[in-house]
Structure 1
Amino acid sequence: MSHVDPALVDVRTLADHPLVPNGETSKLRMVAPGSATAGRYGLVEYHVAPHSPGAMPHVHRTFSESFYVLTGELTIYAAGSWQAHGPGDYALVHEGGAHGFRNDGDEWASFLILFAPGIARELFFTELAELWRSGRTLTPEEMTAFYARHDQVMVDP
Structure 2
Amino acid sequence: MSIIHPGIHPGIHPGFDRSVVVRGADAEVVGAPTARIQLLADSSATGGALSTVRVTLAKDADGARPHRHDASAEMFYVLDGAVQVLSGSDIVTAERGDVIVVPPRIAHAFAAARGKTAELLVVITPGVERFDYFRKLTRIAHGEEPPETLRDVQELYDTYFLSSPEWESARR
TM-score bin, normalised by smaller chain:
0.7 to 0.9
- Structure having the higher Rg: 1
Residue of structure 1 equivalent to 2:113: 104
Are residue 14 (structure 1) and residue 35 (structure 2) matched?
no
* CA–CA separation in structure 1 for the residues paired with 2:37 and 2:44: 17
Aligned residue pair count: 150
| Inter-CA distance 60–9: structure 2 relative to 1 (3 Å threshold) | closer
1:12-54, CA deviations, whole angstroms, 9 ceiling, x for partnerless residues?
2223214x24123100111212121111111111111111122
- State which of 79, 100, 103 in structure 1 corresponds to 2:88: 79
Letter in 2 for 1:78: S
* CA–CA separation in structure 2 for the residues paired with 1:21 and 1:32: 14
* CA–CA separation in structure 2 for the residues paired with 1:6 and 1:144: 38
Task: Check whether the contact 2:35–2:62 (CA below 8 A) recurs between aligned residues.
Answer: no
Q: TM-score normalised to the size of structure 1?
A: 0.84
Q: What SS does the aligned partner of 2:134 have?
A: helix
Unaligned 5+ runs, structure 2: 4-17, 165-172
Task: Check whether the contact 1:72–1:105 (CA below 8 A) recurs between aligned residues.
Answer: no
* CA–CA separation in structure 1 for the residues paired with 2:98 and 2:19: 29
Task: Give me the CA root mean square deviation.
Answer: 1.9
Residue of structure 2 equivalent to 1:50: 59
Identity of aligned residues (%): 25
Are residue 40 (structure 1) and residue 49 (structure 2) matched?
yes
1:134-156, CA deviations, whole angstroms, 9 ceiling, x for partnerless residues?
443234xx332133432222222
